Structure 1
Amino acid sequence: MKEDKQLLVLTHLSQLLDFVSGIGGFIVPLILWLTKKDEIYGMDFHGKAILNFRISMFIYILICIPLILLLGLGILGLIILGFLYLILPITNAIKASNGEAPHYPLSIQFIK
């Protein structure tokens, strides 16, 4: 296995493709993880962290949608989730470039 911090950084930053394409932020990290998890040191761990974060955020968004009818709480939830969608991939890309483990708070561990 070889070490490739740049690819790990790009994997985290590829989540931001959602702001451009809608679903690319899930598809691209998934493809990178599936194709490189056995070749790149740390890719398996980083890829699982990203996918767990993405699946968790999707569930939280689904929960927020009906909450919009309840005094607009869903709107506040969507704003907070949007902020997390933007900030956490960037901070974890910086961690990956420094050789640190990623941390995505509120992630449910679907893939172990």
Structure 2
Amino acid sequence: METADHCWNCGSNVESDSNYCAECGAELDRERRSERDVDDRTGGYETGVDGTGDYVEDEYGTHRNDTMFAAATHLLAIFTWVIGPLIVLVVTEDEFVDANARTALNWQIMFTVWMVLSFVLALVVVGIIGLLILPLINIAFCVVAAVKANDGEVWQYPLTPEIV
């Protein structure tokens, strides 16, 4: 048995006569493979299989599930502060998810610095604006970063140095 084909879902090598991927369990529907099936499976992105059935990876070599995990890391930061991105950073082995977890963690650290600074300035009334606006900026930035991560990009948050 030859291993000439790749799974559309995870990219691992599969036997040419297999009906299912041994790695992820995805069904390998070889007879009905078309452009419409490719768009449905990958959400219209350039990961997965192209029209010839060859596996295509993006810049980081990520799969569709990895981009979704990276996007979830940014959204997780909205609700868990630095805890969510830190856990993802520790447990992930994927380079793309790791890069997104680092940017999310760096932003949450800087967000904390800006909030503390605003709180101190609120004592002299100036920082009240920061205390009101910074949480909205945090949500907006995390959503933008999640959308970019889902598209396969690592978005650098504004005014955020690489701390981690």
Q: Indicate the residue corresponding to 1:21 in structure 2.
A: none
Q: Of the two, which has the highest radius of gyration?
A: 2
Structure 2 length as normaliser, TM-score?
Answer: 0.58
Is the CA contact (8 Å cut-off) linking 2:62 and 2:96 kept in structure 1? no
Is the CA contact (8 Å cut-off) linking 2:82 and 2:108 kept in structure 1? yes
| 1:58-69 superposed matches below 5 A | 58-69=112-123
Which one-letter code corresponds to 1:12 in the other structure? H
The structure whose residues are more often strand, as a share, is: 2
Q: Indicate the residue corresponding to 1:90 in structure 2.
A: 143
3-state SS in 1 of match to 2:152: coil
The count of aligned residue pairs is 102
The structure whose residues are more often helix, as a share, is: 1
Q: Distance in 1 between matches of 2:99 and 2:136?
A: 24
Q: Distance in 2 between matches of 1:103 and 1:55?
A: 14
Task: Check 1:92–1:2 CA distance in 2 against 1; reply closer, same or farther (3 A cut).
Answer: closer
**Where in structure 1 are there 5+ consecutive unaligned residues?**
18-23
Q: Indicate the residue corresponding to 1:56 in structure 2.
A: 110
**Relative contact order (alpha carbons < 8 A, sep ≥ 6): 1 or 2 greater?**
1
Q: Distance in 2 between matches of 1:97 and 1:53?
A: 18
Which one-letter code corresponds to 1:95 in the other structure? K
Structure 1 length as normaliser, TM-score?
Answer: 0.82
Q: Indicate the residue corresponding to 2:90 in structure 1.
A: 34
**Where in structure 2 are there 5+ consecutive unaligned residues?**
1-60
Q: Indicate the residue corresponding to 2:76 in structure 1.
A: 14
Moved over 4 A (4+): none
Q: Distance in 1 between matches of 2:143 and 2:89?
A: 18
Q: Distance in 1 between matches of 2:100 and 2:154?
A: 8
Q: Distance in 2 between matches of 1:64 and 1:51?
A: 20
